[in-house]
Chains A and B, each alone.
Chain A
């Protein structure tokens, strides 16, 4: 199938997902559930990865800038900017694409092959809206929180590692992370995380929704969901960086 075919079918599906809900209260309770499944259940992995990435970024920066001419507070500054600009939005989005994307695609794909989606349609329910919309909204609401969480834990991890290894002192690190701070970087990062949340949920739902066949194809859809979400995230990362930082 051509790329154009996929884009067309994807657009139609997402348009259907945003149709007027049959009953708001049901969509609302689904939204709450999805926030838990997609959002809260991802905080653990985001926290752990952020901690270690923050630690590694700090130590690497320290060893790469080992020069008597450079003040050590630059370590804090460099670590902060890497975390704010790229790590807590893009890398976290890629991690979520793996965790949430495969979860969404396999859930919706299984519903497709066991005719649960047909059962919804036959009841007169808009299956795209009922299944996909709450996921999109839930992750778009939750992604900025995950992003902020990741920033805080990343910077914290950098501090722990930097001081433990002895490449930077606490006052220098703290001075560094405050030095020449540009608040817009946070806005930039949050905007990216919301866009990435939309990409992850819609691309994965698309792959799940159009699964054909059996259990094997569900597995394949789930892999495709992760791969395609990741590629689209990287593409949009480039576009957004150019748009927002230039």
Chain B
């Protein structure tokens, strides 16, 4: 359970987040949706503490993260897994070394155990056998998948994904969504996913938070997203012709 209470965030004199309060539930995939530039990435970075907040607090399972000492924060972060919007793989390390990084840093596993774990994670993102490649040799989507493998290698208690399936083909995107959902269920994690993919919303949105211009505009579950009377959310959801057609056929039925 992650609780965000009244956070505000500005850069210079431009306020990006306005008084956001929201709870993210354990064992569920919590989605943050919103237009490009609405503040999703900034919100996620505030939640994990990469950006400091101007005011407000963030609680992890009841513990206040914002006022936590550095040492405790570091320990807490070892339970985090995070996927960045741009993947953020370590350029100087191969795919295998990237995924193995946390195992090397924080465990006393043997080499064989590490290798097995790395291969297991790579298989889950459909990248078996790519161990020796370097990030510069991967496509954008492959980088994303390696980053997911790296994020889940130590079975995090909290998983944060910033647009896990942007830049992926629909099939792979669905696979990644399913993977995120599965590991969330398997390990009872608290997962937060930033996305503007409606397919993800339908597939895995057990809780959906809609951010509009830095404010929490709407909160609910995936089924409700399409029935809401909220105008901004409606504009967001029914932006494409395809979704409009689906709605129209639904209504005419």
Smallest beta-carbon distance B154→chain A, Å? 9
Do A110 and B91 form a contact, CB below 8 Å, given A121-B50, A122-B82? yes
B90 within 8 A of A: yes
Answer whether residue B84 sits at the interface, using C-beta atoms and an 8 A cutoff.
yes
Known: A115-B86, A116-B88. A122 touches B104 (CB 8 A): no
A124 touches B91 (CB 8 A): no
The proximity string for B residues 1-24 relative to A, scoring 1 for CB distances below 8 Å and 0 otherwise, is 000000000000000000000000
Residue B239 at the A interface, CB < 8 A?
A: no
Residues of A near B75 (CB, < 8 A) are: 124
Q: Which residue of B lies closest to A115 (CB)?
A: B88
Q: Give the contacts of A86-122 with B (CB-CB under 8 A).
A: 110-111, 114-116, 118-119, 121-122
Q: Which of the four size classes fits the interface of chain B?
A: 20 to 34
Q: Interface code B67-87, partner A: CB below 8 Å = 1, 0 otherwise?
A: 000000011111010101010
Residues of the B chain whose Cβ atoms lie less than 8 Å from the Cβ of A111: 90-91
B90 touches A123 (CB 8 A): no
In this complex, what residue of A is CB-closest to B98? Answer: A119
B101 touches A118 (CB 8 A): no
Q: How far is the CA of A116 from the CA of B150 in the complex (A)?
A: 13
Q: Which residues of B contact A115 (CB under 8 A)?
A: 84, 86, 88
Collect the chain A residues with CB atoms within 8 Å of residue B45's CB: 118
Known A115-B86, A116-B90: A122·B105 in contact at CB below 8 Å? no
Interface size, A (range): 10 to 19
Cα distance, A116 to B50, chains bound together (Å): 12
Identify B80's interface contact among A26, A116, A123, CB under 8 A: A123
B48 and A122 form a contact (CB under 8 A): yes
- Contacting A119 at CB < 8 Å: which of B84, B104, B105, B106? B84
Judge if A22 is at the interface, Cβ distance under 8 Å.
yes
CB-based nearest A residue for B51 = A118
**CB-based nearest B residue for A123:** B102
Q: What's the Cα separation between A121 and B45 when bound, in Å?
A: 12
Query: Within 8 Å CB of B101, what residues of A?
Result: 123
Using A22-B105, A23-B105 as known contacts, say yes or no to A124 and B80 having CB atoms under 8 A apart: yes
Which residue of chain B lies nearest to A122 when distances are taken between CB atoms in the complex? B82
Residue of A23, A115, A118, A125 most packed against chain B (CB within 10 A):
A115
Q: Is the pair B77, A121 in contact by a Cβ cutoff of 8 Å?
A: yes
Question: In the bound complex, do residue A124 and residue B88 qualify as a contact, i.e. CB atoms below 8 Å apart?
Answer: no
Do A23 and B104 touch (CB < 8 A)? yes
Which of B77, B82, B91, B104 interacts with A26 by CB under 8 Å?
Answer: B104
Q: List 12 A-B contacts (CB under 8 A).
A: A22-B105, A114-B88, A115-B86, A115-B88, A116-B89, A118-B45, A119-B88, A121-B50, A122-B48, A122-B50, A122-B77, A126-B74
